[in-house]
Amino acid sequence: MAGITEFKIYVPPYRLNGDMISSVWGRGNRKTSRPIMSFDEDTNTMAVEAILDDSTWGEVDVDALYYASTSFPYTEKSNASIVAEASDLKSDIFTAEFSGSLRSSTTALRSAAESVKAGTIKSAVVVASESRPSYPGSPDELSLCDCSAALFVGDGEKVIAEIEDFYSWSEDFIDRWRLPGGKSISSGDAKFIQDYGYIRQTVATVEGLLKKTGATPEDIAHVVFYSPDVRTSRAINKKLGFPESSFSKSPVVEKIGDAGTVMPFISLIETLKKARPGEYIIITGHGSGGDAILLRATDHIANFDSSNGLEKALEKQIPLENYGKILLSYGITSEDEIIPFTSPSILWKENRANMRLFAGKCKTCSEIQYPRQQVCNGCGTRDKWDEIKLHRRGKIFTFVHDYLPPSPNGYITMATADMEGGGRFYAQLTECNKEDVKIGMEVELTFRMLHKGDGFYNYFWKFRPV
Amino acid sequence: MSETISGKVAIIGVGITKFGELFEKSYNDLVVDAAFEAYEDSGLNPEDVEAAWLGTYLPLGWGFDGTGGPSLAEALNLYPKPVSRVSNYCTTGMEAVRMAAMAVASGMYDVVLAVGAEKMREVPPRGSLVAQHIEKLHPMYSKGRTAPGSFAILATRYFEEYGATKEDLAEVAVKNHYHGSLNPRAHFRKEITKEQVLNAPPVTEPLGLYDCCPTTDGAAALVLCKAELAEKRFNKKDYILIDGMGLSCATGYITTAFNPNFKFTGFEATQHASKQAYEQAGIQNPLEEIDVAEVHDCFTITEILNYEDLGFVKKGEGPDFVKSGSSKLGGQLPVNTSGGLKSCGHPIGATGARVLGDLSNQLLGRCGDRQVKNAKKALGHTLGGPGAVSSVFILSKN
């Protein structure tokens, strides 16, 4: 039976702290803190972070990519193809994007599981990524969370939780919405949304699933509702009557904020980490109706290394030290714009090098060259290459802090690093203060939005400290 | 190498404009000023010039500032003679001279003109090179990269391996500013202190403002002829002979920073180019045999690495060479008595021609306060692309 085989969460390290929001805007909970992406990240780069780590680097073998977000960088043009390319997924892959509703992630998960069940694909990665906009000073500024999560769906022995059944329903409902280009999320009447949206619709969703499967609340060991806050979750459960033990004492929303489409995935991952073999799990997605998914933990879950959870994703935290840095994360910058040169045909020609990080290893002299030329710069042999993928990690050979190019930080650190397994890479260093950079420092490659030359997103790799 | 250039080509005329932020001068004005000074110095009539080469690295516009040979033909009325433009990063000016010298050595022409010119200050300093890296270079690999950054990244590695410091680099800046103070044509004519260098704002750490050459306008021109004609046709008792000239492209422009074999502590291009030039000129021990040198000090670290790559001293001994005063006027081998790129400025296409012009003047004893006594053999060096290509000339008095 189809089910979850692996998972990973990515939460950007930068934190927008309540005390700063309070000091700038005179309101907001001083004790709150929310994750916010860096100026060089977007939904697509975070989706790649959720898929790639040392163990999946160049090794993700799936038949399909299901990608959910309400905040895709491109409204028109594939976002999934960017994620697939950077994650180095095979090219004969089925890609699908799910957007609009906040339950597009659970819808994507259902679709992936159904295709695996139907046997039309053997495996899929389902990734949700979110960076919803909040107006500076708006109530959402402290409540939203930028992050991403990936669920790997497959069949057979690797499955740690089988996806047993689904229930979905649809009802048009105006609760929260955002028009194209909107800088913040609009809301209707809060009490109406609370009672008739989140609570009534989620209750109906779960009741529908229970009715369909013949299960009772007592059969379910873990239940997770999508809701923008803890209070709403409690109100939903009050109506449904699941045992207290099945209901998380510290829901994810309390830890990181409202992660939109990513929320059901993180909640599921956190639930899987504590689930025991045979236990039933319900997760829900909400938005103009709802999705409910029933899962059952398999025997394999007992031996599963579940270290890729939220705790690990929250290990690195960097508080943003001033509001200017926050504005940069929103994409608001006073930097003068020198329009970077780019060329779609160059990018297309160099996809395997620039997006998938393939270098050449000369069959004659074994020199590893990146970017690969036709003629080996080591021995002069033409076109006799083995393609090899650059390793994710390396050590800085030398570096410079350059104050001349426009940069939100005032300088750009450029580094050359010797990569594990051979080859050299030269790139910007991100998530690092210049005081901490040393020769020999271990770095890893991270996929970033490099610039917006010609008005489109130009993605490339940067280093960050390990 | 089948034949040497040695002894075949003479430099009989030198023209160098004032270097600086010459807002009142156009590109063509600079070219005319340099060329006519060289004409006058050589004693020829402009009609005597049979062919010409123009070195301009990066035309800021199209068709009016060094895009091709017609830019030079137009400024000097060289119609309908053969004129072409060469561009080879920061060796561009030297490359124009090298092309001209080879044409003479081939026997095709008796008298030729080489001009190097660059008008960088029609735009803000940042617009000339920094913006170019972003606006014109590779969509991915060049973003965040600048010319100073591409040299500073060697300083970081050199410091690590050889224990050198920013104080060592400052010695180069102080020396070259002192030399520049003696050169009426230099962009900067003020002496500076080590403290000023060390306290200057960072540009590309570990390099600060005074570790970098400025953005400058200027032009230089040389008249070259067959060696045997210098005296016979132009009545020159004293003239300059090209003893050797080498050029090497030893790494790529973009790929250098990705090259696993690149050491980041020196430039192979300089090593290869100097070897070629030394062989032609019969130089065995450059430190002993060369009396005066102009080397590419685009940044202070570069001059220190040049000492080593040119074989003046061993690897790692560059800092001591400047600290001991050996490369200062009056030292064992005065380097950059013009003030170098640091003080003269670095109008890219002009620099190589300016270097050879300055060295010619040293060998002819025309350098006044900064004259090196009894200078008989001179070395000129340029390095560009950052470090990918280098050109070296050995000159002597006839």
Q: A343 contacts in B (CB within 8 Å)?
A: 139
Which residue of chain B is at minimal alpha-carbon distance from A412? B144
Interface of A with B in 313-342 (CB under 8 A): 338-342
What torsion, rounded to 10 degrees, do the Cα atoms B14, B19, B23, B28 define? 20
Residue A335's pLDDT is what? 60
CA gap B228, B232 in Å, rounded: 7
Closest Cβ opposite residue A412 in set B126, B144, B156 = B144
Residue B2's pLDDT is what? 67
Whether residue B76 is predicted with pLDDT greater than 80 in this model: the reply is yes
Question: What count of residues does chain A have?
Answer: 466
The two beta strands, B389-397 and A161-170, are unpaired
pLDDT band at A328 (very low <50, low <70, confident <90, very high): confident
Is B159 part of the contact surface with chain A (CB cutoff 8 Å)?
no
Is A365 part of the contact surface with chain B (CB cutoff 8 Å)?
no
For residues A245 and A336, the model is more confident at A245
Q: Which residues of B are catalytic?
A: 90, 346
Give the pLDDT mean for A64-87. 98
CB contact under 8 A, A338 and B148: no
Least confident of A166-180, A324-338, B84-98, B324-338: A324-338
Query: In A342-368, which positions are buried (b, 16+ CB within 10 angstroms) versus exposed (e)?
Result: beeeebeebebbbbbbbbbbbeeeebb
CB contact under 8 A, B140 and A414: no
Comparing CA positions, the residue from A421, A428, A425 lying closest to residue A458 is A428
Interface of B with A in 193-212 (CB under 8 A): 201-206
Output the average pLDDT for chain A: 94
Whether residue A314 is predicted with pLDDT greater than 70 in this model: the reply is yes
With 0-12 / 13-18 / 19 or more C-beta atoms within 10 angstroms meaning exposed / middle / buried, residue A305 is exposed
CA gap A279, A274 in Å, rounded: 10
Closest chain B C-alpha to A402 CA, distance in angstroms: 4
Closest chain B C-alpha to A424 CA, distance in angstroms: 5
For A216-261, the pLDDT digits (tens) are: 999 999 999 988 888 898 899 999 999 988 987 778 888 899 999 9
CB contact under 8 A, A341 and B160: no
Q: A412 contacts in B (CB within 8 Å)?
A: 144
CB contact under 8 A, B149 and A414: yes
Give the pLDDT mean for B365-369. 96
Residue A231's pLDDT is what? 87
Interface of B with A in 115-134 (CB under 8 A): 126, 130-131, 133-134
Give the pLDDT mean for A84-88. 98
Output the average pLDDT for chain B: 96
Q: What residues does B248 pair with on adjacent strands? A: B390
Is A448 part of the contact surface with chain B (CB cutoff 8 Å)?
no
For residues A1 and B338, the model is more confident at B338
CA distances for A269 relative to A148, A365, B85, angstroms: 12, 47, 65
Both tokens assigned to A35: 């994750």
Whether residue B1 is predicted with pLDDT greater than 60 in this model: the reply is no
CA gap B334, B145 in Å, rounded: 33
For B160-182, the pLDDT digits (tens) are: 999 999 999 999 999 999 999 99
DSSP B104: H
Closest chain B C-alpha to A347 CA, distance in angstroms: 8
Give the pLDDT mean for B323-345. 98
CA gap B371, B351 in Å, rounded: 20
pLDDT band at A330 (very low <50, low <70, confident <90, very high): confident
Comparing CA positions, the residue from A434, A458, A460, A433 lying closest to residue A445 is A460
Whether residue A324 is predicted with pLDDT greater than 90 in this model: the reply is no
Write down the ipTM of this complex.
0.95
> What one-letter code names the amino acid at A263?
M
CA gap B264, B327 in Å, rounded: 23
Closest chain B C-alpha to A405 CA, distance in angstroms: 6
Q: Is the pTM of this model over 0.90?
A: yes
pLDDT band at B319 (very low <50, low <70, confident <90, very high): very high
- Contact between residue B91 and residue B389 where contact means Cβ atoms under 8 Å apart: yes
Widest CA span in chain A: 74
pLDDT band at B272 (very low <50, low <70, confident <90, very high): very high
The dihedral region occupied by B52, where left means phi > 0, alpha psi between -120 and 50, and beta the remainder, is: beta
For A110-140, the pLDDT digits (tens) are: 999 999 999 999 999 999 999 999 888 888 8
Question: What count of residues does chain B have?
Answer: 398
For residues B308 and A244, the model is more confident at B308
Residue A27's pLDDT is what? 87
Whether residue B130 is predicted with pLDDT greater than 90 in this model: the reply is no
Q: Which of A54-58, A293-297, B58-62 shows the highest mean pLDDT?
A: A293-297
Whether residue B248 is predicted with pLDDT greater than 90 in this model: the reply is yes
pLDDT band at B61 (very low <50, low <70, confident <90, very high): confident
Whether residue A337 is predicted with pLDDT greater than 80 in this model: the reply is no
pLDDT band at B107 (very low <50, low <70, confident <90, very high): very high
Comparing CA positions, the residue from B96, B177, B94 lying closest to residue B351 is B94
Kindly give the residue spans of alpha helices, DSSP state H, lying in chain B.
27-42, 69-76, 92-105, 125-128, 130-136, 147-162, 166-181, 194-199, 227-232, 268-281, 286-289, 300-309, 318-323, 340-344, 348-363
Q: A414 contacts in B (CB within 8 Å)?
A: 144-145, 149, 153, 257
Closest Cβ opposite residue A416 in set B135, B153, B204 = B153
Give the pLDDT mean for A268-297. 96
Is A457 part of the contact surface with chain B (CB cutoff 8 Å)?
no
Q: What are the E-state strand segments in A69-130?
A: 94-98, 124-130
For A23-42, the pLDDT digits (tens) are: 999 988 888 899 999 999 99
CA within 13 Å, CB half, A185: 22
